[in-house]
Structure 1
Amino acid sequence: MSDTGKIAQTPLFDRKANIRGYKLNKMAMALVEEHNRQAFKDNEEAYLDRFGLDAVTKAAVMSRDWHEMVRLGGNLFFILKISAIDPTPIISIGAAQAGMTPEDFIKNRLGK
């Protein structure tokens, strides 16, 4: 397979990433339920511990390091559930994925 069309620094979400990110994705999907969102807000670290997240993954979630969560196997559609807690604008997440400030992301990627 050629490298044509690949974006530098973009983690591939393949079977290996899916397996690696299973606990992270399971935790994030559980946030669709109100009682889980409340538990996350009340004691984020304890909530993450319920899902057996390792220290690196917990640190990525707690610091809202979106790029690292994806690198660790987080499915973007699932980790967006985390962004609803704060709330974090999707532009900020896109900018983090691209390694840009939100302002540069808007200008360079959205042409505004």
Structure 2
Amino acid sequence: MSTIPETPLYDRAGSIRGYRMNKMAMSLGIPANREAFKADEAAFLDSHGLSEAEKTAVMTRDWHEMVALGGNLFFILKISAIDPTPMTRIGAAQAGMDHDLFLQQRLGKL
């Protein structure tokens, strides 16, 4: 199997590793959970049993680290909807690029 450097592979191991974070993110589809998340993120994340690394990644909106910790992009997008964070910002973070440069180079937008 070939790998792409610095690209986390979302496989069975990643799914297991990110289970708590993904389950928490999926729960944000429920309005009461979104309100609880907005009211006290740390307590909400603790209630889902997230590790310190997972909590830090979520609370700092470190999209790249969330994926590295086993986060599934489809679930992470539920977190991004809270702020809201445009999907292009997540793409730029994944590529390690400035958002404006990402828009220009990857999407041809000035």
- On whether the aligned pair clears a TM of 0.5, the verdict is yes
Q: CA deviation at 1:8?
A: 2.6
Question: Which runs of at least 4 in structure 1 moved beyond 2 Å after TM superposition?
Answer: none
Gaps of 5+ in 2: none
Superposed, which structure 2 residues align to 1:1-112 within 5 Å? 1=1, 3=2, 6-112=3-109
In 1, the alpha carbon distance for the partners of 2:5 and 2:90 equals 17
TM-score after normalising by structure 1: 0.94
Gaps of 5+ in 1: none
- How many percent identity over aligned positions? 64
Cα deviation code 1:13-68 (max 9, x no counterpart): 00000000000000000000000000000000000001100101100000000000
TM-score after normalising by structure 2: 0.95
